[in-house]
Every structure is written in C-alpha cells, then in structure tokens.
Amino acid sequence: MPRPSPESPRRAWTARLWTAVRPRIAIALVALGAIAAVAWLAPRFLLGPRVDATLVVRRDFVQSVVASGHVEAPHRVNIGVQVTGVVRAVPVAEGQHVRAGQVLIELDSAEWSAALSQAEAAVSQARARLRQLREVQAPVAAQTVRQAEVNLENARAQLRRNTDLFRQGFVGQAALDELRKAVDLAESQLRASRSQLQSAREGGSDHAMAETALAQAVAGAAVARSRLVYATVVAPVEGTLIDRAVEPGDVVQPGKALMVLSPAGKTQLVVQIDEKNLQMLAPGQKAIASADAYPGQRMLAELVYINPGVDVQRGSVEVKLDVPQPPAYLRQDMTVSVDIQVAQRQQAVLVPSDALRDADLASAWVLKVDGRHARRQPVRLGLRGGGFAEVLDGLSPGDLVLSAKAQGIASGSRLRAVAVQPPDARAPSP
C-alpha cells in the first residue's frame, strides 16, 4: 500500500481556503471599482467639468482686411500694325524687357520703298517746274511785254503820221484802216503778254498751280514715307512684353493686337474686397502684400483707388494699391494676397472672437469664469479682426472667458477653468 505524501494535507487545506475566499474577492473588487468611480466622478458632479478658458489680454491691436488679387500696370499697350503686310522679322520674345523705340515687328517693305522713290521723284519734278517758272518763264514773259509795248508804240506812231497824210490827201482810207488794225493788234498782244507775265510771277495762276503740284507731290511722298515707317513697329514706351501673337511670315492687318506691352514704372495690385468691409476702407491706408509664388517675401503698398461701384455678381468692390518699390520677382498678373491695415489700437483689451455670443447684435455677451461658475457677461465691442475683438466695456485683462463651442456649459454652471493663453492678436482678419 503506497505511503501518503506529506504535501497532500497542505494542498487540501489551500483548496478549502480558496473556495471560501473566492466569492469575497469578487465582492471586494466590485467594491473597489465602485469606490474608484465615485472618487473620479465626484469632483465632476460636485466641482464641475474641467474646461479650457482663454485669458482676456491687453495688447497692441491692428485691424486689417485681407483679400487676394493680381499684379497689374495702370495701363497696358496693345501693339499692332497700321498697314497690311507680311511680317519679315520679330526680333523680341515674350517676357523680354524692351526700351522705348526698340524694334518689335518688321514688315516686308520693298513695295513701299519703291513707292517712296517714285513719290520723291515727283517732288523733284514739281520743284523743277516751279523753278522754271521763276527763272525762265517769268523773265521771258517780261521781255515779251516789253516787246509788245515797243510794237504798240511804233504802231501808234505810224497811225499818227498816216493820219496827217490822209488829211493832206496823200494816203488813202484803206491804208489808214490797216494801220488802225495794226494798233489794235499790238494792244491785244500787249495785254496777252502782260497776262502771261502776271501768271508766271509769284501769286499768279501758273505759279499757284506749280506750288499746288509741289504740295501734292510732297504730300504723296509723306504718305509713302509714312507707309515705309509703318513697316517697322517700335516700342512706344519702355516696358515688358507680356504677350506675343505674331511670327515671321504672318500676314497682318490693322485692328488686331499682335503684342501686349506692360509699361515700366508704377505697379499696382488690383484686389476684390468684400463689400461688407467697404466702410473701413479709405485712400492712403497702408498694406502689406505678398505674391503667392513667393509667400515668404513681403512688399509695402498703399491704397489709392476704390471703385465707386459694387460688383453685383460677387458682392465685392475693386480697389487698387500702389507698390512704391516693386521687387524684381514681381510679374504682370501674378496672384497676390494683400493685408490692408484699416485701424489700430494701442494696448487694447482683447477677447477671442470664438468666445463671443450674439456678436453681430448690439447686445453681445460672453460666458465669463466667475470663481467656480460660468456667468453671462454683456460686453461692448470696438475693432474686430484676426480672431479677436476689442472690448470697450465689460471685461478686464486677466478675466477668463469660455469658447462658444464649449458643450453643456451655460450661465450658472459649475466648472473648473484651465487658463489658456490666446494666440497672437495681430493676425489679419480673413
């Protein structure tokens, strides 16, 4: 028969003890859980929940209006041609900076050069005709007048002598009539020669016609010269070509913009401002702008123009700002963000905008932490923007206010406030 192990009675005793204690352990664990739950929930029910509360602060405050827009010169110059022709050369590229007078487009000008030569030849011919009148025809006409005067005097002298002879009966009537006809003919020739002389002299009809022909020839030469000049298109002002729509070989005609030139000099930012901010804008206000392509760079600007009309479709107002010192990277039509400073306060009392209730009404209020409770506190507001509002009356620096997003907190509710510092109050308003 096997001998019993000395461990057997001890194992049996341990089993009986575990059987007796196990129900009591479960009860003890439940009791401990209940005690822990009460210990955790009791402060919440007795003292209220822990809630973040933002401090009311005193800081310098800048109210600003932010909008986006684009870079634009005060005006743009559309470049085209004034005559129809074939493009021979385009010696500039889009985006190139050009000087005033620099060649932009050259047209084939062989035909216009020939027309100018022909017109200049016509001018030379007209001038030669006028010189001929002055140096040849007028002197010849003067000599013709002198000869006609002499012929007339001789004819009259012969008529006088033969009249005496006729009275004495030595000359017949027929001879006397012939002499009278000779006098009339001489007088007629004198009148004709005098007319020719007057016409050839300055102020006369021939001289006037020659001068008119010269003027017409000069005008024709000017037209031909202008057409030849029009064959070369130059930059009217210094600037940057922001568009080019022409290539060598193209047939071009007047009325079509072939290039767009952005003049050098003043640069403006054109932005659209929400019409609700119109009352805060005024010419002369300073602004800080940045190009979206260079967000880390800042440039100073000044508000110079407010459009008198409102865009009905977008509910916005167009404003323009001058950039006194535009940076080198700025390009035409670049997208920019503009922060216009419309007002500022020194050491203003500020409350976060998310703590305001009925902020758009005259009776704005906040939930202020008053000891262990939340209390409704009316406030009078001043400037607003950048996530903050200026408090003119109702709060003091160091007060704690609750966000309007806090759930389950009403005036009179118990709470345990946890003070939180507000962010920078100089951020621009959206």
- Domain of 411: which CATH number? 2.40.30.170
Rounded distance, CA 299 to CA 144, Å?
87
The answer on 429 and 296 residing in a single domain is yes
Residue 15 lies in a domain: no
CA-nearest of 247, 265, 206, 238 to 72 is: 265
Write out 46-75 in H/E/C secondary structure.
HHCCEEEEEECEEEEEEEEEEEEEEEECCC
- Higher-confidence residue: 263 or 164? 263
- How does pLDDT run across 48-88, given as a tens digit for each residue? 688 888 888 888 887 778 888 998 876 778 899 988 889 99
Q: Check whether residue 255 and residue 272 sit in a common domain.
A: no
Ranked by mean pLDDT, the top range of 136-150, 170-184, 188-202, 382-396 is: 382-396
Whether 247 and 307 share a structural domain: no
Residue 69: per-residue pLDDT: 92
- Dig out the tokens for 5 from the structure: 């192990």
Residue 213: in which H helix or E strand, if any?
helix 205-230
| pTM tops 0.85, yes or no | no
In a domain, 4, yes or no: no
Do 66 and 100 fall within a single domain?
A: no
Same domain membership, residue 404 and residue 329: yes
In this structure, what token pair is assigned to residue 280? 């805060």
Q: Which helix (H) or strand (E) holds 304?
A: strand 299-306
Q: Which residues are within 8 A (CB) of 241 and not within 5 positions of it... i.e. 6 or more apart? A: 92, 93, 94, 95, 96, 98, 104, 259, 260, 261, 262
Does some domain include residue 12?
no
Residue 192 has pLDDT above 90, yes or no: no
Residue indicated by tokens 């204690």: 21
For residues 327 and 379, membership in a common domain is answered with yes
Q: Are residues 417 and 303 in the same domain?
A: yes
**Same domain as 430, residue 302:** yes
271 pLDDT exceeds 90?
A: yes
Tens digit of each residue's pLDDT (9 = 90 or more) over 91-134: 999 888 899 999 999 998 888 888 888 888 888 887 877 676 67
The reply to whether 407 and 303 lie within a common domain is yes
Domain tally, the chain:
3
Mean pLDDT over residues 7-29, rounded? 62
More confident position, 174 or 7:
174
What is the extent of the structural domain holding 404? 50-74+266-430
Confidence of residue 32 (pLDDT cuts 50, 70, 90): low
Q: What's the rounded Cα separation, in Å, for the pair 364 and 357?
A: 6
Mean pLDDT (the chain) is: 79
Q: What angle separates helix 138-168 from helix 173-200, to the nearest 10 degrees? A: 160
| Domain membership flag for residue 32 | no
| Residue 252's CATH number | 2.40.50.100
The angle that helices 110-132 and 205-230 make with each other, rounded to 10 degrees, is 160
**Residues 429 and 404 occupy one common structural domain:** yes
Separation between Cα atoms, residue 242 and residue 93, nearest integer Å = 9
- Which among 239, 263, 246, 254 is positioned nearest to 106, based on CA atoms? 246
Burial of 388 (0-12, 13-18, 19+ CB in 10 A): buried
Residues 224 and 236 in one domain: no
Q: What is the DSSP letter of 417?
A: E
Average pLDDT over residues 318-338: 87
Q: Which stretch of 269-273, 355-359, 374-378 has the lowest confidence by average pLDDT? A: 355-359
> Token digits for 30?
């439940």
Task: Give the separation between CA 376 and CA 388, rounded to whole angstroms.
Answer: 19
The residue count for the chain: 430
pLDDT mean over 254-275: 86
**What is the predicted pLDDT for the residue at 206?**
67
For 209-266, list the strands marked E by DSSP: 232-234, 239-244, 251-252, 259-263
The verdict on 423 and 276 lying in the same domain is: yes
